[in-house]
A and B are shown apart, each in its own frame.
Chain A
Amino acid sequence: MKTKRQIQKEATRKLILDTAYQVYASEGFSATTNQIARAANLSHGTIFVHFPTVENLIICLLERFGLEINAQFHLLAEKDESLETFLAAHISVLIRYEDFYKRLISEINVLPQEAKYVFINIQSVVSFHLNQVIERDQEKETIKEIPMHIVFNSWLGLIHYYLTNSYLFAAGSVLTDHKDELILNYIKLIRK
């Protein structure tokens, strides 16, 4: 049984992570722990009771984010689905986290090394499912002979380009506005 103190401690930890998620999504990862403390209505010191350093906070947040988003990719992906359905599912998950994900891909190069590995592992779940779909289509010879990593990186490159430059393409959610166009034309590029 958890003590009242433990329950309280876990609730505060969750509040810090939830607030950090919101603050980073709207301000980027250069937002300070002071900003996060203020938004969570906590004293600045409380944050460091739970997370000794900013790096630690960011890594814990990304690990939690990775688990959550990966669970959704896994749940949405089906072995026998079409390429269209899979790509639509990928985008539909990203739309749920669009502001945060956009910050993440724009700023990944300045985040701690460990954060980059968490990021790779988020992409691994997507590449795992895409690979199943593509291998099946390659057997049916409906897909051009392109190495798997180029198939994957081209898709990611396309949606990441639209996300990081969303001001060029949409006033609101760029993925919502352009998902159909991106899926349709990406498939045209790789299908025989």
Chain B
Amino acid sequence: MKTCIACGMPMKKESDFAMGDTSKAYCIYCAKEDGSMQSFEEKKQSLVNFTIKTQGLDKAVAEKAVENMMRQLPAWKAFF
């Protein structure tokens, strides 16, 4: 099974892929409206906001945790 290169989520079904296109390496949550992959800053911001919203973390902690996670993903290797 493919795993999203930008967030690490396994893509089980067609609908998990960006634009429902199984040849894409990233998931529906990592795609912009036009289907292209979000930029590093966009993805980082959305993950930080999401972590704060769903876990209530302090902003600085959320940023560190998100960076730590992104560092391990193939899409963002060049940023670390």
Q: Which residues of A contact B (CB under 8 A)?
A: 63, 70-71, 74-75, 114, 116-118, 120-121, 123-124, 127-128, 130-131, 147-150, 152-153
Tell me the bound Cα distance from A190 to B72 in angstroms.
35
Contact of A128 with B50 in the complex, beta carbons under 8 Å: yes
Give every chain B residue within 8 A of A148 (Cβ-Cβ): 53-54
Give every chain B residue within 8 A of A120 (Cβ-Cβ): 51, 55, 57, 61-62, 65
Contact of B53 with A71 in the complex, beta carbons under 8 Å: no
A131-B53, A147-B56, A150-B56 given; name 20 further pairs at CB < 8 Å.
Answer: A63-B72, A74-B9, A116-B65, A117-B69, A120-B55, A120-B61, A120-B65, A121-B65, A124-B50, A124-B65, A127-B55, A128-B50, A130-B54, A131-B50, A148-B53, A149-B52, A149-B53, A149-B54, A152-B55, A153-B55
Give every chain A residue within 8 A of B9 (Cβ-Cβ): 74
Which among B8, B12, B55, B69 has the highest number of chain A CB atoms within 10 Å? B55
Give every chain A residue within 8 A of B10 (Cβ-Cβ): 71, 74-75
Give every chain B residue within 8 A of A74 (Cβ-Cβ): 9-10
A81 to chain B, nearest CB (A): 13
User: Would you list the 10 A-B pairs with minimal beta carbon distance, nearest first?
Assistant: A149-B56, A117-B68, A127-B54, A120-B65, A117-B65, A121-B69, A74-B10, A131-B54, A148-B54, A127-B55
Q: Tell me what chain B mostly uses at the interface: helix, strand, loop, or mixed.
A: helix
B10 to chain A, nearest CB (A): 5
Give 29 pairs: A residue, B residue, CB < 8 Å, sorted on A: A70-B8, A74-B9, A75-B12, A116-B65, A117-B68, A118-B68, A120-B55, A120-B61, A121-B65, A121-B69, A123-B55, A124-B51, A124-B54, A124-B55, A124-B65, A124-B69, A127-B54, A127-B55, A128-B50, A128-B54, A131-B50, A131-B53, A131-B54, A148-B54, A149-B52, A149-B55, A149-B56, A150-B56, A153-B55
